[in-house]
Amino acid sequence: MKPSLTRLREAVLEANLELVRRGLVLYTFGNASGIAKDEGLVVIKPSGVPYEKMKPQHLVISDLSGRIVEGELRPSSDLPTHLVLYRAFPEIGGVVHTHSEYATAWAQARREIPCFGTTHADYFHGSVPVTEPMSEHEICGEYEKNTGEVIVRLFRDRSAAAVPGVLVANHGPFTWGADVSAAAHNAVVLEAIARMAFFTITINAEADAIGKPLHDRHYLRKHGSRAYYGQAVEYK
């Protein structure tokens, strides 16, 4: 095992286990990865290994072209999607994919999640977008890589830092963050946002998205150059 990646292996394992603890994955669904940017290496969950048996040494290390550098087991079959996202969004340090129930329901309905309230606004600057459906050509070709490409196309006019997740049409959510732990945190929050948005439109089908002033106030107090949310300011 490369000593420099020991901590990353542990963080990636921990993020995968967090998805289980939070009820985001069934059986072996879902995957989390993290990148060691200096080395250009990605640590990802192995394919099909039960979470309760997963150890740091089971994780698979790939370079950004998909060449396996370390690991006896096959990587998650979604590795090519993760790699496309790392190559396109150099600011991210971790990627998570789940089929969490409410976020996947929105993905299957092919509806973006409007920002109905401040919980959403704290994390996503704008709606949680949904990709275009993939073409037969994309599905029959390099499907997992093309899943990444369809996400990247959607983010041509969006910031991956300001919108840390997406719904892949008829599939489910991908989230990312500064590191793998943040990516898992965003996956948990996205599921909560999706659930609350479902209840919101169930109670009132005509519910409006939050206004821009409240959305910006909440997003910008936690993010950006003038952020003030958190202990550094509030803890006495």
- Catalytic residue list: 122, 229
User: How many angstroms separate the CA atoms of 82 and 85, rounded?
Assistant: 5
Size (the chain), residues: 236
CA gap 71, 192 in Å, rounded: 34
DSSP of 32-83, one letter per residue? EEEEETTTTEEEEPBTT--GGG--GGGSEEEETTS-EEE-SSPBPTTHHHHH
Tell me, what amino acid is at 130?
Answer: V
Nearest to 124 by CA among 203, 64, 186: 186
